[in-house]
């Protein structure tokens, strides 16, 4: 059963994270927006130490201690994804661009978590709890395969003599791609998870994910995107030219059979992470809404809740509508992450929360700029930045249009080929 009151561990976490968001992120928002691609080393190091101290730095599976369980003691329900959603919302309230350079596994680790075996998880995920901050990223999008991930043309051919996979292809719009694949003495050895086909004639059945570590010969960053928002975060193009990785770096079976398990592995990753991306958008929208209400209050405008709409001023109605959009989107996210925590299939709820949040953050930040007028458009305040940061919520990890298709297919029972 879903509970709407945050469990005690989450409430405690939020108290600490708010200080980080205010003092380390919000205070530096304008600087890192103006200095695109400059790496906030102080923030990264602080977050890495904090996560290690709290045990949040490692995603590796931990051995369970053999302890006698008290049969009368109720088991605490899992709250891992719920805790992440609250954490990401708060950090994004501070600054979503800086949140995106928080050290850790990101989408790359999520792919390993979804598709790897126990040995691979132990090997690749343990590094996120080591001494240096480490990054990982997902390499899926290509110039000819954006939202239609089944159109990926990158290939991975097995060199049987050397027992290595030879990968060729180009990936674009890789979030944290540069920090994940480039060796930096201040960071641990990161990796990217590259989606490629081991048999192009097999279609989706031939798609597999491969862990490609930083420093691998033949892998290079060819471009760093200049973006509208989230400018602190690097978004890279990565070329793989005869890049060789060990045989056991494939996630999933190397055999091609007549199913789509490889493709489903990718989609399972998104089912877990789309609500988390949605939560980052809610953080941005909340920042804009709170700022707007604060400025209105300073000018003597208070929101009279509880009155019929016809008795409210236009400004009051608009602010209340913004709050409705924000809260309804957040409730959908809570449901999706609760289902993820309890191992319930959440493909429908995951995409629904992403669609709703993408709409909400775009509309809320735009309306906030409009309500504030010239001050909203001015660089004197961060409102215009939040407006720019907001739109990406509706684009990455599946555009709003693609997620609407996913929702329709889930509800109507159509396959991807039947409803496009």
Residuewise pLDDT in 10s, the chain (420 residues):
566 778 888 999 999 999 999 999 999 999 999 999 999 999 999 999 998 887 665 444 444 444 555 666 667 778 999 999 999 999 999 999 999 999 988 889 988 988 899 999 999 999 998 999 999 999 999 998 877 777 899 999 999 999 999 999 999 999 999 999 999 999 999 999 999 999 998 888 899 999 999 999 999 999 999 999 999 999 999 999 999 999 999 998 898 876 555 556 556 778 889 999 999 999 999 999 999 999 999 999 999 999 999 999 999 999 999 999 999 999 999 999 999 999 999 999 999 999 999 999 999 999 999 999 999 999 999 999 999 999 999 999 889 999 999 999 999 999 888 988
What pLDDT sits at residue 259?
53
Question: What span, in angstroms and rounded, lies between the C-alpha atoms of 285 and 366?
Answer: 10
Q: Which domains does the chain have, with CATH numbers?
A: 8-60+78-103 (no CATH), 109-259 (2.40.110.10), 263-412 (1.20.140.10)
pTM score, whole prediction: 0.91
* Coil, helix or strand at residue 272: helix
Nearest residue to 109 via CA among 95, 93, 120, 97:
120
Question: What span, in angstroms and rounded, lies between the C-alpha atoms of 111 and 107?
Answer: 6
Identify any residues that bridge with 197 across adjacent strands, giving them in sequence order: 155, 207
Tracing tokens 């191992």 back to the chain, one arrives at 343
Tracing tokens 């990401």 back to the chain, one arrives at 88
What pLDDT sits at residue 58?
46
Is the separation of the CB atoms in 337 and 84 below 8 Å?
Answer: yes
Q: Is 66 in the active site? A: no
Token output for 46: 């602080």
Nearest residue to 98 via CA among 158, 180, 176:
176
What pLDDT sits at residue 244?
98
What pLDDT sits at residue 310?
96
Residue 36 neighbours by CB distance under 10 Å: 16
Catalytic residue among 63, 380, 397, 418, which?
397
């Amino acid at each position: 059963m879903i509970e709407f009151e945050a469990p005690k561990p989450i409430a405690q976490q939020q108290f600490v994270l708010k200080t980080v968001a205010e003092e380390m992120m919000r205070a530096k928002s304008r600087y890192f927006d103006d200095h695109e691609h400059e790496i906030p080393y102080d923030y990264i190091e602080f977050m890495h130490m904090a996560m290690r101290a709290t045990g949040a730095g490692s995603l590796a599976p931990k051995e369970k201690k053999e302890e006698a369980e008290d049969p009368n003691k109720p088991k605490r329900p899992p709250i891992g994804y719920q805790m992440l959603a609250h954490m990401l919302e708060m950090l994004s309230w501070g600054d979503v661009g800086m949140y995106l350079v928080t050290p850790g596994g990101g989408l790359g680790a999520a792919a390993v978590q979804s598709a790897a075996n126990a040995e691979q998880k132990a090997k690749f995920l343990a590094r996120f709890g080591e001494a240096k901050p480490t990054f990982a990223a997902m390499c899926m999008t290509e110039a000819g395969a954006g939202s239609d991930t089944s159109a990926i043309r990158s290939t991975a051919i097995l060199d049987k003599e050397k027992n290595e996979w030879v990968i060729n292809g180009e990936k674009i719009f890789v979030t944290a791609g540069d920090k994940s694949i480039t060796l930096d003495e201040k960071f641990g050895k990161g990796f990217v998870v590259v989606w490629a086909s081991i048999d192009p004639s097999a279609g989706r059945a031939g798609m597999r994910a491969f862990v490609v570590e930083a420093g691998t010969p033949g892998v290079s960053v060819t471009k760093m995107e200049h973006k509208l928002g989230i400018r602190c975060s690097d978004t890279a193009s990565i070329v793989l030219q005869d890049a060789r990785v060990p045989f056991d770096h494939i996630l999933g079976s190397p055999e091609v059979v007549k199913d789509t398990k490889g493709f489903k592995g990718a989609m399972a990753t998104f089912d877990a992470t789309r609500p988390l991306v949605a939560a980052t958008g809610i953080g941005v929208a909340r920042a804009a809404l709170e700022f707007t209400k604060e400025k209105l209050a300073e000018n003597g405008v208070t929101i009279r809740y509880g009155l019929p709409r016809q008795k409210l001023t236009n400004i009051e109605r608009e602010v209340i509508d913004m709050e409705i959009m924000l809260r309804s989107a957040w409730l959908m996210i809570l449901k999706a992450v609760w289902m993820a925590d309890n191992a319930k299939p959440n493909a429908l709820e995951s995409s629904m929360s992403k669609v709703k949040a993408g709409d909400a953050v775009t509309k809320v930040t735009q309306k906030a700029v409009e309500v504030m007028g010239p001050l909203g458009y001015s660089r004197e305040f961060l409102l215009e930045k939040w407006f720019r940061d907001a739109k990406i919520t509706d684009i990455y990890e599946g555009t709003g249009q693609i997620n609407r298709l996913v929702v329709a297919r889930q509800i109507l029972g159509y396959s991807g080929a039947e409803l496009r």
